[in-house]
Structure 1
């Protein structure tokens, strides 16, 4: 996905069960997606956010 902060960096989250770090993606009944855990960039823009039910929720 493209970073939602506007820096236009490509973010890649691994969904492989054997790998680390890894994320899980849930397809919700309302046809939205949820990604767990949060995404926290350690370099660049350093964005930290949750992707829940197809929406970005910024961490403080």
Structure 2
């Protein structure tokens, strides 16, 4: 699946000067974390930190 195509229509309302991460990366990490059982923002962030090496292989 091409993540770029899947999330292409999601608008990014963040200010350009404040962006630290690509919106696509945030959406994919959030989706994967929720599938793995994350219930809130803290758990999503923890998932992203724990799986960083794996996620970097395709994000």
Give the structure-1-normalised TM-score: 0.27
Q: Relative to total residues, which structure has the larger strand share, 1 or 2?
A: 1
Q: Structure with the greater relative contact order (CA < 8 A, sep ≥ 6): 1 or 2?
A: 2
Q: Structure 2-normalised TM-score?
A: 0.27
Normalized per residue, the structure richer in helix is 2
